[in-house]
Amino acid sequence: MSVRAMAAAWAIQVAPTEKLVLLALADHANDETCECWPSLTHLCRKTGLARSTVAKALKALEARSVITRKPRGTTTTVYRLNVSHWSERRTSPGGELVREPDGGSPRAGPEVVREPDGGSPRAGPGTIKEPEVEPSRNQKAGSDKPSNRERRDAAQRVLAFLNERAGKKFRHVDTHLVPIMQRMDSGITEQDLRMVVARKCRQWKGTDMDSYLRPATLFNKTKCEQYVGELVPPKEAVNE
């Protein structure tokens, strides 16, 4: 556990679910680099939150530069807690930050209240408005196409990984890609899906179960969640 990161995590103002996930990361981070690499499944168990909630909290923290994520190989994500960046911020009680006009340090920004008649916004009575919706939802209306492309690209990478490991030739069509995208939409990461593929290929390839190395089986909602759950013990052994 990084004492420095833990103290900073308690002090920074973020949404409650983001705070819980941030504290879980700080509990695993080291003092030297403030880095850690717990799995999404482990974070869910540690915080008691659903996978989709943890995934959204991580995206929100990354969008605000509170953390930085980078892949390590094909099975691990390294999280860096940008503690020095936090100390350069002055946060409001609600956690909203406003950049000074001269490019200096951020300052707390007042709540903007829209007049009932639709007129110009005015400053609220000394209150600060905390973001109520996570960035992924805020961006949904204007970024469906990029998001869909990213989801499809990730699904194609997973399917290509399955073809490579299992020696198959599944085509990149919706029948095979949609179940993969649905599993990622539920909070299962691309890395988790790759680990499922790798594990099942080791278990089934060249056996009577070889024919089940297919998207319909591996990425079925119920079966996939079961397979991801089977990954917990070795992943926790690495990250504890």
Give the residue extent of every domain in the chain. Answer: 3-87, 139-239
Cα–Cα distance measured from residue 91 to residue 12, given in angstroms and rounded to the nearest whole number:
7
Residue 177 has pLDDT above 70, yes or no: yes
Closest to 33 (Cα-Cα) out of 73, 71, 78, 76: 78
Which tens digit of pLDDT belongs to each residue from 20-46? 898 889 888 887 788 888 888 888 888
Q: Which two tokens stand for residue 230?
A: 């089977």
DSSP 196: H
Q: Under CATH, what is the fold of the domain 3-87?
A: Arc Repressor Mutant, subunit A (1.10.10)
226, pLDDT greater than 50: yes
> 78-135 pLDDT, tens per residue?
898 888 776 555 444 444 443 434 444 444 444 444 544 444 444 444 444 444 444 4
Helix ranges (DSSP H) in 31-138: 40-47, 51-63, 83-87, 135-138
Q: Give the phi and the psi of residue 22 in degrees, each rounded to 5.
A: -65, -40
Helices (H), the chain: 3-11, 16-28, 40-47, 51-63, 83-87, 135-138, 144-166, 174-185, 190-204, 215-218, 221-229, 232-239
